[in-house]
Chain A
């Protein structure tokens, strides 16, 4: 059974800091991995998708890396802004199943 762990569970930083969110998963037989953000009471917004054959993906101030063999992914956020405040979720997709498996997420607060 795939288990996903995200560290830290919560993070509070001042505006402008660079930060790293960590995700680990137990089953490395994944098809791809997706990072999402969720604002309170809202749906999930996709941030980055990394295919299993890729090492990293970048979009603006966001960079995600994937080490499939060790079961780890990292989301790097540069020059954080108050608008980045949200819960960040990582979700690998198992090769054997057509579904996302989610961690509990990291709740990020960026203070002005």
Chain B
């Protein structure tokens, strides 16, 4: 079966711009989570969506937002980019609440200059 697909793989943006990242989960998975990975902070939870509803949110500023569509695909948006937003953004899908485990995509490498 197809895995979790994240697009684009790489992005370079300028400070102040906004960016949208996309994640297509494994077919049948209804939960999509987003994580930010940086060398200093490691992997940090951003938010989780299930059936188009945000169920859980990490400790990130309001510039980070997301949504989920009826086909379970999810997008995350970062507005007013800062240099510190440079990171690997990872998406994970699961059936529900980690039942059966989480499967991660290859990530989107965002560089803010």
Q: Does B48 contact A (CB under 8 A)?
A: yes
Please state if B107 and A32 are interface contacts (CB–CB under 8 Å): no
Q: What separation, in Å, do the CA atoms of A105 and B42 have in the docked complex?
A: 9
* Minimum CB distance partner of A31 in chain B: B98
Partner of A46, one of B43, B48, B104: B104
Q: Choose among A41, A46, A89 the residue that contacts B109 (Cβ–Cβ < 8 A).
A: A41
Take A41-B88, A100-B33 as given contacts and tell me if A36 and B56 are in contact as well, using a CB distance cutoff of 8 Å.
no
Beta-carbon contact of A36 and B104 below 8 Å: yes
Contact check, A100 vs B106: say whether CB atoms are below 8 A apart. no
**Distance from A96 Cβ to chain B, minimum over Cβ atoms (Å):** 10
The answer to the question of B24 belonging to the interface, with a C-beta cut-off of 8 Å to chain A, is: no
Interface residues on B, range: 20 to 34
A32 to chain B, nearest CB (A): 6
Q: Which of B45, B50, B98, B104 contacts A44 (CB under 8 A)?
A: B104
Q: Cβ of A99 < 8 Å from any Cβ of B?
A: yes
Query: At the interface, yes or no: B55 with Cβ under 8 Å from chain A?
Result: yes
Hey, which chain A residues are within 8 Å of B98, CB to CB?
A: 31-32, 34, 93, 98, 100
**How many Å lie between the Cα of A31 and that of B90 in the bound state?**
22
Interface residues of chain A, those whose CB is within 8 Å of chain B, are: 31-32, 34, 36, 41-46, 49, 89, 91, 93, 97-105
Residues of B within 8 A of A (CB): 6, 31, 33, 35, 42-43, 45, 48, 50, 55-56, 58, 88, 90, 92, 96-98, 100-107, 109
Beyond contacts A41-B88, A43-B6, A46-B101: 15 other A-B pairs, Cβ-Cβ < 8 A, are A31-B98, A34-B101, A41-B109, A43-B105, A46-B102, A46-B103, A49-B100, A49-B101, A98-B31, A98-B33, A98-B97, A99-B48, A100-B35, A100-B43, A100-B102
User: Could you pull out 25 A-B pairs where Cβ atoms are within 8 angstroms?
Assistant: A31-B97, A34-B98, A36-B104, A41-B109, A44-B92, A46-B102, A46-B104, A49-B101, A89-B43, A91-B43, A97-B56, A98-B48, A98-B50, A98-B56, A98-B96, A99-B33, A99-B45, A99-B48, A100-B33, A100-B35, A100-B43, A100-B45, A100-B92, A102-B43, A104-B42
